[in-house]
Amino acid sequence: MLTGVLVGLVIGGIIFFLVQRNRSQVLKVEDGWWGAGVQPDSEEDVTIRLFEVTTSDEELKDLYSRIDQTRPVASLEDSQFNYGFNSQYLQNVISYWRNDFDWKRQVDKLNQYPHFKTKIEGIDIHYLHVKPKKVPEGTTAIPLIMVHGWPGSFYEFYGLIPMLTEPSDPDDLVFEVVCPSIPGYGFSEAPHKKGFDSVCAANIFHKLMRRLGFQQFYAHGGDWGWLVTTNMAQLDPKSVKGLHVNFAPPSQHSVHMLLSIMLGRRFPKLFGFTDVDIQRLYPCKEKLLVEPIKESGYMHIQATKPDTVGRGLNDSPVGLAAYILEKFSTWTNVDFRDLDDGGLTRKFSLDDLLTNVMIYWVSGCIISSMRFYKENFGKGLNQPHSKIPVYVPTGFACFPNELMHTPKLWVQQKYRKLLTYTPMAHGGHFAAMEEPSLMAEDIQKFTKTVEEKKK
């Protein structure tokens, strides 16, 4: 009996040691210099400058000239969006863009929120900083950084921002929102040197939040924003009070994950699988192998030779629109591939879609945005951040039409303090833009949960 107790104590001690060692793991990164040339000896200019999105008649004249010179190519009969963006429908989009879309009006819409730039590690970082107009007496606004992905932009959050900074429910929390553009995206300067990955972006955004006076804050992200904000939680867990994401593909094939795939269909309760999990994961060959291959060709190109295809997209507005908007079709709902119009305007307006495309066009950022794939995947899939669990309180919004379904068990393997896991009624990959009300509700629910626990 005594021997059994001693063995139990030893095993318990080993487990405790391993858990504590894991908990003490913090992601490390060295400060970089991403500006052109050699880093100067002088201290970096840390001033914050107002920024305004602008346009000109010359810019529009050049755009229209390029659109007018596009060379249409007929799609195959009965191909819909299964071969990519349908050419017949593309002509409709181009016609609207050329004749009806009002970029100057959209520029005014972009400028409805205050924009800023500040230099960090040698490059200009662009961001929105939206403060609430009114904060209930006796409370303070909750700082929240929201990070976009590809091929999105800060504009993805325009429908969500007012719901967080000016909530209609008096019982809701009021947020102060910061939306930066990832370096190389939108109006943030592109890194001039190789190696700028998600961890480097996370380090820069930590510096941005400190520069704005936030020692602690919440973070939200989808697509690349999921990884950047996750890295932020790994770099400085004490600064990130809570992490909310709507995309969380498994970082590595753990034993739990493999076992759950093999046995989950027969023994769903053993792995906490719901009917939705079963529907989204099985049959495995189709859902976890064939379907991802159909939608990941872009990733291989961008993770290997982004500058080649990017050069063509940077010269052709029509090519750029087709490349970007195809994702807003199939990533919103894979079944949209079987529609002649790709279902584009079922969830989005052409004005909003083309505004996002224009952000890429006028800033000329398509190549630098695609390089982010090479910088992240080029270092291999087994990076330090992929092995380090997240112990920051986490909330996950599970949208049914997301590119990859992640059951609760899989999310918990990475995010050890998963406080909320919300199966959403509808929505896909661009959830913040597609379903801002649902996203706002879940961010509220998660943040209230964290704040109550802290009390």
Q: Which residues, in sequence order, are CB contacts of 166 under 8 Å at separation 6+? A: 132, 133, 134, 174
Please determine, for residue 5, whether its predicted confidence score (pLDDT) is greater than 60. Answer: no
Task: Please give the pLDDT value at position 11.
Answer: 38
Task: Please give the pLDDT value at position 6.
Answer: 41
Residue 448 lies in a domain: yes
CA pair distance 362, 59, nearest whole angstrom: 8
Average pLDDT over residues 163-191: 97
CA pair distance 246, 163, nearest whole angstrom: 17
Q: How confident is the model at residue 377 (pLDDT cuts 50, 70, 90)?
A: very high
Q: Average per-residue pLDDT in the chain?
A: 92
Residue 337 lies in a domain: yes
Task: Please give the pLDDT value at position 292.
Answer: 86
Q: Are 360 and 324 in contact (CB under 8 A)?
A: yes
Q: 248: domain CATH number?
A: 3.40.50.1820
Residue 261 lies in a domain: no
Task: Please give the pLDDT value at position 287.
Answer: 83
* Number of domain units in the chain: 1
- Tokens representing 183? 């370096």
Q: Which residues, in sequence order, are CB contacts of 377 under 8 Å at separation 6+? A: 299, 303
Please determine, for residue 453, whether its predicted confidence score (pLDDT) is greater than 90. Answer: no
**Judging by beta carbons within 10 Å of its beta carbon (0-12, 13-18, 19+), is residue 309 exposed, middle or buried?**
middle
**HEC states along 221-261?**
ECCHHHHHHHHHHHHCCCCEEEEEECCCCCCCCCHHHHHHH
Catalytic residue among 218, 323, 360, 373: 373
Average pLDDT over residues 31-35: 95
Q: Which of 101, 95, 122 has the alpha carbon at shortest distance from 34?
A: 122
What are the tens digits of pLDDT across the range 152-172? 999 999 999 999 999 999 999
Residue 330 lies in a domain: yes
Catalytic residue among 244, 385, 429, 442: 429
Average pLDDT over residues 403-413: 94
Could you give the 3-state DSSP secondary structure of residue 395? strand
| Interior/surface letters 84-93, b for 16+ CB within 10 angstroms, e for the rest | bbbeebbeeb
Residue 283 lies in a domain: no
Q: Which of 199, 196, 130, 137 has the alpha carbon at shortest distance from 165?
A: 130
Could you give the 3-state DSSP secondary structure of residue 220? strand
Of residues 167 and 267, more confidence is placed in: 167
Catalytic residue among 223, 236, 277, 352: 223
This prediction has a pTM of 0.93
Residue 217 lies in a domain: yes
55 alpha-carbon distance from chain centroid: 27
Please determine, for residue 198, whether its predicted confidence score (pLDDT) is greater than 90. Answer: yes
Name the DSSP letter for residue 343: T
Sheet of 48-51: strands edge to edge? 48-51, 115-120, 123-130, 175-180, 142-147, 217-221, 240-245, 394-398, 418-423
Q: How confident is the model at residue 3 (pLDDT cuts 50, 70, 90)?
A: very low
Residue 309 lies in a domain: yes
Q: What is the largest CA-CA distance in the chain?
A: 87
29 alpha-carbon distance from chain centroid: 21
Please determine, for residue 190, whether its predicted confidence score (pLDDT) is greater than 80. Answer: yes
Task: Please give the pLDDT value at position 13.
Answer: 43
Residue 290 lies in a domain: no
Task: Please give the pLDDT value at position 7.
Answer: 36
| Interior/surface letters 388-402, b for 16+ CB within 10 angstroms, e for the rest | bbbbbbbbbbbbebb
Domain that holds residue 328: 48-252+296-454
Reply yes or no on whether 429 is catalytic: yes
Per DSSP bridges, beta strands 142-147 and 123-130 are unpaired
Task: Please give the pLDDT value at position 19.
Answer: 44
Task: Please give the pLDDT value at position 23.
Answer: 56
Task: Please give the pLDDT value at position 35.
Answer: 97
Task: Please give the pLDDT value at position 330.
Answer: 96
Percent of the chain clearing pLDDT 90 (strictly above): 80
What are the tens digits of pLDDT across the range 112-146? 999 999 999 999 999 999 999 999 888 999 999 99
Q: What secondary structure does DSSP assign to 159-171, as a single string?
A: TTHHHHHS-SSTT
What are the tens digits of pLDDT across the range 223-263? 999 999 999 999 999 999 999 999 999 866 677 788 888 88
Please determine, for residue 10, whether its predicted confidence score (pLDDT) is greater than 70. Answer: no
